Amino acid sequence: MDQTVIVKIEETRRRLVEIAERRGELPQDAFAERTDLLDEEHELEALLADLKDRASEEEKGEAEEQAAAQTDLTRTPRLPDAEPGS
């Protein structure tokens, strides 16, 4: 998986925690700042969902590549001959 995606996911999660902490510190009448933080939080949640999708797709591609590399479909395995009376 691309390390930059992992780093972006971690940074986004950290920022979401910071936003939650900041909102908890704000006075009840700080409507404008609360709205700005809420907007940023929604944007970051959408970004996080997109990053998770990208990471999932990359992992699926890697798994398929590994399975293809480990599977040799060009030859049939040799099976023992059936014994008479079995």
Residue 18 lies in a domain: yes
Do the domain assignments include residue 70?
Answer: no
Q: Write the pLDDT tens digit of every residue in 15-61.
A: 999 999 999 999 999 999 999 999 999 999 999 999 998 888 877 66
Q: Is residue 49 part of a domain?
A: yes
Q: Is 75 helix (H, G, I), strand (E, B) or coil?
A: coil
CA distances (Å), 60 to each of 4, 17, 36, 64, in order?
Answer: 17, 29, 36, 6
Judge whether 9 lies within some domain. yes
Residues 6+ apart with CB under 8 A from 64: none
Instruction: Supply the range of the domain harboring residue 59.
Output: 3-65
Q: Is residue 10 part of a domain?
A: yes
Q: What is the DSSP-derived secondary structure letter of residue 86? A: -
Please report whether residue 13 resides in a domain.
yes
Domain count, the chain: 1
pTM of the model: 0.65
Contacts of 25 by beta carbon, 8 Å cutoff, 6+ apart: none
